Chain A
Amino acid sequence: MRTRVDLAMVVVLTLATGALWAGITPAFDKTDEPAHFEYVQEVATLGHPPLDLGNNGLASAELGCWLSGLQTQTYRFYPTERPPWNVADVAALDHTCDGDSPKFDGAMYQATQPPAYYVLAAGAYDLASASPLPTRLLFVRMFSVLLAALAVALTYLMVREVIPGSRWAARAAALALALQPIFMFNESGVNSDVLVVTVAAAIAFVTARAWRRGLNTRHALALGALTGLGVLSKLNFLTLMPSIALLAFALWWGSAARSAWRVRLLSAARLALGALLAVGIYGLYVLVNNDVWHRGAAGTGPAMAEGVTGVGSIRHLADFIWQFFLPRLPGRPRLFGYYPFWNDVLKAITTRLGWWNDYGFDSWAPVLVVLGVLIATLAAFYVLPRARRRPWPALVALGAAALFLLSLIIADFRVLDAFGDGFEGRYVFPAMPLWGLLVGCAVVALPPRLRPGMTGLLAALFLAHTVIAISSTTSVFYL
């Protein structure tokens, strides 16, 4: 019963913080929001994903009218500017844009993405179809928040599976996610990253459950279906595939270590069935994408597919990975003018609000990042000694996270060479359930009588982080 009450509180908390972030961020000021919203609008009004995969920067007449009327480009690029503050001006803009067509084929640079998130989000768009476009945008943002609430609830349940003896650990984990401002800023925007995060959280939960209770056919099929859905969410999901493979192997190995050959074979067969389901879902998508929508086999578009092939040598890649984390070795070429792991990962996910830190929130970096690293280190101090006694859960989780980060860096290396685009901190958010697990570990490392106090302290720290971020947002846009 208490777990259900906790879950309800976790869902309400995430919905509430998400709603706050959805309502306080000016229209179309979430990362890449115009392009993602354009995709949703196309699915809702034309019934299919973009057939024109070119990035021509155009939008429907209605969306274009609102984008220029709200002057979104002006206040994003110039810190002296502010979004509209007068409701009457926006009412006049609504009158101006009324009657403009919402129908348009294209979604700028997001047109090549697979459609799962947009198909689901189109339901929220339709729900508000009679309202002005910005209200439709808010409805779609709230759909994203709903997915975020699901992700946080799944993280709570995952920590309950991994650390079954402590509810405080699971509560702290949920608080760590729901009150992480950069995470919630992204999770409350129109962006297919949100579905990737939810699917990753679901995979983490199913794996933890299968590990604790024994792998059965339902677990294997759920993992397969989730992997299939993940691939249809966003191309970034592909960077999670090595980690999912590691988790599946660990599940098989875990069952093999304590069972007879027959059971081992059965586990392998179940996992193969799950993999088959994932491949089947992807195959179906390729078929529909190619033969019905004529968007190319993989949906990535020929330009991108050609762009990322045959770049860089293995030695160059090794340098890239090394220098991502550590200072350059003597005699090797300098690939970065800064420390990417510190700047693009730790600092970015702790302090970087807006599209590229256009809030100037970075100035808070030292305090917040040090606090975050301190908590993570505390958690690691607990996880590692425990791992010596019960190696699997902790080592597999850390291994999966490391593989994910490595895949991201390799993908970044290839994309960087092909397009000159860089690594963005938000790409690591699918690993947020692991952050929750680390925080949970830090709580459960303490004697039971101190766990409530530690959870309360962490809650206050996380709340302070959110309050600072909300204050920064208010100051940038509303003062």
Chain B
Amino acid sequence: VSALGKRSGLAVAALGRQRALAAVARRRPSAFAVFGAGAAVIAVVLVILLSQTGLRRLGNNDTPVQGVIGTLAPGATGCQPEPMHKGARGVEIYASPTQPGRVAIRIKITGAGRYDGTGGTGGLIAGGLAAPLAHGAPPPRFADTGVLLNLCVINTGQVPLALIGAGTGADQLTLRQAGSPPTTTVGRLRIDDLVSGRAVSLWGILPMLPDRFAAATGSLLAPWLVVGGGILALLAMVGLLRGGGEVDEN
């Protein structure tokens, strides 16, 4: 009886030790749990970054930013033929005020039927000046078709604007001011088409990225590599970190 009691006592002690070890094992952080916590932090930061607002581009008019092509005086209008991107609801023009004072522009489109009109007032942003278009995005018969619209920039502010672009040899910017004959600048004004005339988050841009990857690499394979690669990489990391422990096999 006493031997039996001693044996059962040992068994209880062993069980206690096992439970204690199991408790320790439960407490120690697993690779996957720590990685998961880190990945969650990264995901939160990404969501915050994607929610940051700013002016979002759809494309530009293929005019490189090379130098000043002319000056737009207060009250003057500069017009040039312009291809428009699908979905463009605002534009950013590359220009900077030449002296302190109130800066403002408006954008007008002519020769496009119901799409004609003058948009609301825009003004200085980090890279230049931005303003909304009058009637939303250009209709399908104009956007991404190569058809050129007549886009005019009106300086509604108090200071002259130095216009930035490049000498292109064709389709130059024409300047008009009341009381003076029109003059043609040495080149074209650089204009970026925007998703909106005001700041928006990056979420709306995400669906456009696959096409941009394909165009920039010149291959439709690229977006598959990016998206598939990203997903597979995460799965492989999970597989690696959920693997077994330290038993030596080799």
Contacts and interface: CB of A to CB of B under 8 A. Distances in A.
Interface string B67-80: 00000000000000
B225 A23 contact: yes
Nearest to B28: A449
B52 to A, nearest CB: 11
B30 A85 contact: no
A456 to B, nearest CB: 3
How many chain B residues sit at the interface, stated as a range, is 35 or more
A133 B221 CA distance: 12
A193 B29 CA distance: 39
B180 to A, nearest CB: 31
B16 interface: no
A474 B212 CA distance: 10
A24 B226 contact: yes
B6 to A, nearest CB: 32
A462 to B, nearest CB: 9
Interface of B: 24-25, 28-39, 41-42, 46, 49, 56-60, 64-65, 94, 127, 144, 190, 202, 205, 208-209, 211-226, 228-233, 235-237, 239-241, 243-250
29 contacts: A2-B249, A16-B228, A16-B233, A16-B236, A20-B230, A22-B229, A23-B217, A23-B225, A81-B64, A81-B65, A82-B59, A84-B216, A93-B218, A132-B219, A135-B221, A137-B219, A138-B221, A138-B225, A166-B246, A171-B31, A175-B240, A452-B30, A453-B30, A453-B31, A456-B30, A456-B38, A457-B34, A463-B237, A478-B209
A300 to B, nearest CB: 33
B33 A456 contact: yes
Interface stretch (A6-14, A229-237, A240-248, A408-416): A6-14
Contacts of B250: 3, 160-161, 164
Contact of A477 (B211, B216, B221): B216
Interface string A151-176: 00000000011001111100100110
A23 B226 contact: yes
A219 interface: no
A180 to B, nearest CB: 13
Interface residues of A, number: 79
A424 to B, nearest CB: 24
A450 B28 contact: yes
A19 interface: yes
A318 interface: no
B217 A138 contact: yes
A22 B225 contact: yes
Contacts of A22: 222, 225, 229
A452 B58 CA distance: 45
Interface string A45-84: 0000000000000000000001000100010001011111
A27 B211 CA distance: 14
User: Ordered nearest first, which 10 A-B pairs have the shortest CB separation?
Assistant: A460-B38, A134-B218, A23-B225, A456-B34, A20-B229, A19-B229, A453-B29, A16-B232, A456-B31, A13-B236
Given A12-B232, A456-B29, A460-B42, A168 B246 contact: yes
A69 to B, nearest CB: 9
A455 B241 contact: yes
B128 to A, nearest CB: 10
A166 B244 CA distance: 11
A314 interface: no
A23 B222 contact: yes
B249 A455 contact: no
A402 to B, nearest CB: 28
A85 B216 contact: yes
Nearest to A80: B65
Interface of A: 1-3, 5-6, 9-10, 12-13, 15-27, 66, 70, 74, 78, 80-90, 93-94, 131-135, 137-138, 142, 160-161, 164-168, 171, 174-175, 178, 448-457, 459-461, 463-464, 467, 471, 474, 477-479
Given A2-B249, A452-B245, A467-B46, A460 B212 contact: no
B60 A82 contact: yes
B243 A6 contact: yes
Which residue, A1, A80, A461, has most C-beta atoms of chain B within 10 A?
A80
Contact of A20 (B31, B42, B225): B225
A164 B248 CA distance: 6
A343 B237 CA distance: 31
Contacts of B31: 168, 171, 452-453, 455-456, 459
Contacts of A10: 236, 240
A20 B35 CA distance: 21
A26 B39 contact: no
B232 A3 contact: no
Given A12-B236, A164-B250, A463 B228 contact: no
B246 A451 contact: yes
Contacts of A2: 243-244, 247, 249
B221 to A, nearest CB: 5
Contact of A23 (B213, B243, B249): B213
A301 B233 CA distance: 42
Given A80-B127, A138-B222, A460-B41, 14 more contacts: A3-B249, A16-B228, A16-B231, A66-B218, A82-B216, A132-B218, A133-B218, A137-B219, A138-B217, A167-B249, A453-B29, A471-B46, A471-B49, A479-B202
Which residue, B60, B202, B232, has most C-beta atoms of chain A within 10 A?
B232
Which residue, A15, A85, A137, has most C-beta atoms of chain B within 10 A?
A85
Given A2-B249, A448-B246, A459 B241 contact: yes
Contacts of B213: 23-24, 478
Contacts of B226: 19-20, 23-24
B114 to A, nearest CB: 25
B75 to A, nearest CB: 28
Given A452-B245, A471-B49, A461 B38 contact: yes
Contact of B229 (A23, A84, A86): A23
Given A165-B248, A457-B38, A478-B212, A25 B29 contact: no
B193 to A, nearest CB: 10
